[in-house]
A and B are shown apart, each in its own frame.
Chain A
Amino acid sequence: MSKAVVVKDLTKKFGNFTAVNKLNFEVDKGEVFGFLGANGAGKTTAIKILCGLSKPSSGQVTVAGFDAYKQSELIKKNIGYMSQRFSLYDDLTIAENIRFYGGIYGLKRVEIQSKTKEYVKKLDLEEFEGRAVIDLPLGIKQKLAFSVANVHNPAIIFLDEPTSGVDPITRRQFWDMIYSEAAKGKTIFVTTHYMDEAEYCDRITIMVDGKIEALDSPSRLKKDFNAHNISDIFLKLSRKQNSTQN
């Protein structure tokens, strides 16, 4: 298996509304794959389908080598997920959160203990150890959430706007963490609003109104669209869409 995600003609309809319209793409193992689009373009719907939170209306979806229709339980064991909303329990301590999520993924007590030590050391959390997560600064919370999503060593990590509301320095650190996981052979699937972050990805797709309008490496896309940065491409695509509608 060399592909982490394979999607063919994926469509999702809510009544008459088509949120995701015939998506086709493949994500390689170890790739940092960026998923861009305006609000309501269908990013979150697509990522929810890939994670098994939602069922596709039609099309083929294979995640980590497993079929989304028949093997969703196997998919769940092999992916990590971090949503745009904060996903740790505010009223539990760092260790309790790790123990809980580790337990859910069936980690052994010893593994959970060593993971806790590793994360506390890596993220410099010694001073926060006995305190509830609510007391942590937002940036640290997000980094901890990423580590927790990674606690069971999944093959693919899905990040749904992980850095919204985080300061630029922490965002940079967050991306360092993403790179170090990708270097270990993990596939990172990330949605974002920040166009500068898109430049950090190996390849990006831009979704407009439920369809993929662009899919390639940032440098190739800039060349193709004759643009200075991703933001320009994004605006061009969105405007094109608006003018065809009008």
Chain B
Amino acid sequence: MKGFIIKEFLQIFRDYRSMAILFGIPIAQILLFGFALNMDLNNAHIAIVNKSGDAKSIELINKINSSDYFIVDQVFNSETNIQAAFQRGEIKEVIVIPEDFAARLASNQKIELQVIADASDPNTASILVNYTQAVVSSFQSQNAKGSSAALPLIQVESRFKYNESLKSVYMFVPGVFTIILMLVSAMMTSISIAREKELGTMEILLVSPITPVQIILGKVFPYVLLSFINAGLILLMSAFVFGMPFSGSITLLLAEALLFILMALSLGIFISTVSNSQQTAMLLSMFALLLPTILLSGFVFPIKNMPEVLQWLSHLMPGKWFIIIVKAIILKGAGFADLWKETLIILSMTLFFIGLSIKKFNIRLATN
């Protein structure tokens, strides 16, 4: 057993490619997702058509410009230039200020402000429109205070709990954490077991007095350790590079991570029992594991928006439950009492895959 583990470590460390996969991918991924896949919008270029041209309209334009969200690139007098500016891709949104803006504002008449957004990217468009509304309504309430006009009777004060600044990094870290643990643990074990089969060394091991359980444990243990180090690395990076706040218990988080790693490893073992070469193992882990986890775990696309069939499928994704757990612990500070159900699901998935692998293994011996 001990010799087995030492040998496995030697092989992992000697193979610079697996070292690169083990530690290079996680670091690259977390940086990529953190910086590149940023859904927050800052400094969107917009144009304004100012038909009014009075002091109040200039004031509104300045207010829009001074917010972090917008840069007012162009100010037109009429709508004729809008189309061309959109087509050149220079601007994402146009705000049209109607005539007699100041006068209507002073006399409390209804003002219709037109907002035209480039919806070739629907998400960006709707976020921009929301931001515009927020800026305009704050402008309105400022002006209303100065005059004797009636204030809106109900004012909504919204607060985004658990992620007050609505940073998308906070949303991505749990997802990336899940995917990396899945990728590294499942893919690396399945490949390393498939390699023994491919090279014929598995046969020699099976002829020796060492039992199949010992073989598997010996192969899996180094990856448990390395994946666990990986998990720590990702958490450290998200805390220090992205300033992710940790509200919950780190111990609980690490314990849940360990359980998830075991789940991914047992999945990897299962994959290796059905594949005879390293390539098959790799393709299987990529297509059968990685893609569904990214698409169906709620990491990128909200599960609630999916068709019902896919929602059902998403329940089968171990990653989904782990993302829920990680988010709850990191952002909400949830304790085990809140998460026992998700934990139980992952635990039963682990046992299921271990059982399945043992069964497959025994069948293989009998029919060989």
Interfacial residues, chain A to chain B (CB-CB below 8 A)? 14, 48, 51-55, 73, 76-77, 79, 81-83, 85-92, 96, 99-106, 132, 149
Contacts and interface: CB of A to CB of B under 8 A. Distances in A.
B279 to A, nearest CB: 17
B209 A104 contact: yes
Nearest to A89: B201
Contacts, number: 74
B204 A87 contact: yes
B298 to A, nearest CB: 40
B200 A83 contact: yes
Contacts of B10: 92, 96
B106 interface: no
Contacts of B205: 104
A103 B3 contact: yes
Contacts of A53: 203, 206-207, 365, 368
A85 B203 CA distance: 10
Contacts of A55: 365-366
A76 to B, nearest CB: 4
B11 A92 contact: yes
Nearest to A12: B368
A100 B367 contact: no
Contacts of A52: 206-207
Contacts of B6: 100
Given A81-B207, A85-B199, A103-B4, 15 more contacts: A51-B207, A53-B203, A53-B206, A53-B365, A53-B368, A81-B203, A82-B204, A85-B203, A86-B199, A86-B200, A91-B14, A100-B6, A104-B205, A132-B14, A149-B204
A111 to B, nearest CB: 13
A104 B201 contact: no
Provide the main secondary structure of the chain B interface. helix
B161 interface: no
Interface string B121-153: 000000000000000000000000000000000
A107 to B, nearest CB: 9
A9 B205 CA distance: 28
Contact of A104 (B4, B11, B199, B368): B4
Interface in B338-367: 365-367
B14 A100 contact: no
B209 A87 contact: no
B84 interface: no
Contacts of B2: 103
A136 B4 CA distance: 23
A77 B366 contact: no
27 contacts: A14-B367, A51-B207, A52-B206, A52-B207, A53-B203, A53-B206, A53-B368, A55-B366, A73-B209, A76-B207, A76-B209, A83-B200, A83-B203, A85-B203, A86-B200, A87-B201, A88-B201, A89-B11, A91-B14, A91-B15, A92-B10, A92-B11, A99-B3, A100-B4, A101-B204, A103-B4, A105-B208
B173 to A, nearest CB: 35
B268 to A, nearest CB: 20
B138 to A, nearest CB: 65
A76 B208 contact: yes
B210 interface: yes
B167 interface: no
B119 to A, nearest CB: 55
A73 B208 CA distance: 9
Nearest to A103: B3
B7 interface: yes
Contacts of A105: 208-209
Nearest to B1: A103
A204 B262 CA distance: 50
A90 B7 CA distance: 12
